[in-house]
Amino acid sequence: MTSSAVQQISTVTQNLWVQLLDQLQLISQQYPDAVFANSLAAEDMVIEHAIRQQNLAITSFMLDTGRLPKETLALAKRVEQQYQSAITVLHPDTEAVVAHVAEHGAYAFYDSLSLRQACCQLRKVQPLQRYLQGKSAWITGQRREQSQTRTQLQAHEHDMQFGLEKFNPLCDWHTDNVWEVIRALDIPYNPLHDQGYPSIGCEPCTRAIRPGEDLRAGRWWWEQRHSVECGLHAAPLSQSSTTQELS
């Protein structure tokens, strides 16, 4: 971080940034096949920048569900151009999606929680499961502050759902910390964030939030708030004994 950038952010955020750089270096050393799930959210752009700044051998990947906003897809291209590093793009099984839509309709996820979860399984969870198979670790941009379903998030967990280690290096960051770094380092971000979308997923399942709502209130807003996860980040996860080493 340059001296001019340092002057733009608080001491707390500076310390968090240095810790992030150190954590990612250590993850890369201990888990050479570690991969980073870049949803192209603001948090993930901070991690992407930190990885590329250090030239770490951590592969970034994204889930293209077939229903992402055009702004998200445009940002993916910009990221590849700016950092000169390809993002591995995961896609759902086309035949399975076609069959699901034929049976239930293109917008069945509005009809029930089970149909919404089935859609997420097809478009997100199953492609991720296939991709993570055989890998030892993955990295996410999840933060405790994001919603009530993430308040127990740990920096290092064993992901029992997918059978590998999981790192959440921004778990104790706050929104202000994320945006301080983005602005100080001129990190690209999704323009939908400037339009009231702190959390961005598939286009038909995401809306802008209202004043006073939590950061993920715009995701699957028609459901009860205890269900606002797509299945990628299932709980409970077991906290790793090496958490302190990487925190």
In a domain, 247, yes or no: no
Structure tokens given for 94: 């086309």
Residues 175-231: pLDDT tens digits? 999 999 999 999 999 999 999 999 999 999 999 999 988 888 898 888 865 545 555
Average pLDDT in the chain: 89
**Residue 152 and residue 234 in contact, taking contact as beta carbons nearer than 8 Å:** no
Residue 190, domain extent: 3-194
In a domain, 215, yes or no: no
111: CB partners within 8 A, 6+ apart = 104, 105
Write the CA distances from 52 to 5, 94, 128, 155, integer angstroms.
Answer: 17, 32, 22, 21
Count of structural domains within the chain: 1
For residues 44-77, one letter each, b for 16 or more C-beta atoms within 10 angstroms of the residue's C-beta and e for the rest, the string is bbbbbbbbbeeebebbbbbbbbebbbebbeebbe
pLDDT value for 202: 95
| Helix intervals (H) in 34-125 | 42-53, 70-83, 94-104, 113-120
Residues 25-64: pLDDT tens digits? 999 999 999 999 999 999 999 999 999 999 999 999 999 9
The reported pTM is: 0.87
In a domain, 101, yes or no: yes
Residues 79-105: pLDDT tens digits? 999 999 999 999 999 999 999 999 999
Read off the CATH number of the domain in which 151 is found: 3.40.50.620
The larger pLDDT score, comparing residue 236 to residue 7, is at: 7
In a domain, 214, yes or no: no
In a domain, 159, yes or no: yes
Active site residue ranges: 230
Model confidence at 1, pLDDT cuts 50, 70, 90, reads low
In a domain, 223, yes or no: no
In a domain, 148, yes or no: yes
